[in-house]
């Protein structure tokens, strides 16, 4: 599994309430750590389609995924990103993968681990086979995920 994050609004420090890093209103940063660690540097805001393509390009290379492979995709909201926004990114990911001949075998969107007041999301991908998909779809009940 490989993971990459993007921030569109800075997180705040829980003790001071101050911004952990600076981002202009028209900027985002890809590669942010879960707690505001620096990424690849700020860039201008991109569309959901362009952001998904950029992130997936890096993640597919990291897991060595290509045509004919099946993927699990998890989109984790950082706290200030709406579920609707995550679904828009999911749609962009599905279109991108379909064009590459890669099957989106399973997906999950939601807030599993958040960062105080940060807007953005983490994208996680993993190559899947029949055994791993059986485990992914197996019944479970946890505070973060329930599968019946």
What are the catalytic residues? 35
Contact 116, 14 (CB under 8 A): yes
> Cα 38–88–134 angle (5° rounding)?
90
Contacts of 43-47 with CB under 8 Å at 24 or more apart are: 45/8
DSSP 28: E
């Amino acid at each position: 599994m490989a993971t990459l994050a993007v921030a569109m609004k800075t997180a705040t420090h829980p003790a001071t309430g101050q911004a952990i890093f600076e981002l202009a209103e028209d900027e985002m940063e890809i590669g942010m750590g879960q707690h505001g660690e620096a990424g690849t540097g700020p860039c201008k805001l991109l569309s959901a389609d362009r952001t998904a393509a950029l992130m997936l390009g890096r993640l597919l290379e990291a897991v060595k995924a290509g045509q004919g492979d099946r993927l699990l995709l998890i989109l984790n909201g950082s706290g200030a990103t709406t579920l609707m926004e995550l679904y828009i990114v999911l749609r962009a990911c599905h279109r991108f993968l379909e064009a590459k001949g890669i099957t989106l075998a399973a997906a999950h969107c939601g807030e599993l681990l958040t960062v105080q007041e940060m807007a953005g999301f983490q994208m996680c991908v993993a190559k899947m086979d029949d055994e791993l998909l059986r485990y992914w779809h197996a019944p479970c009940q946890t505070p973060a995920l329930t599968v019946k």
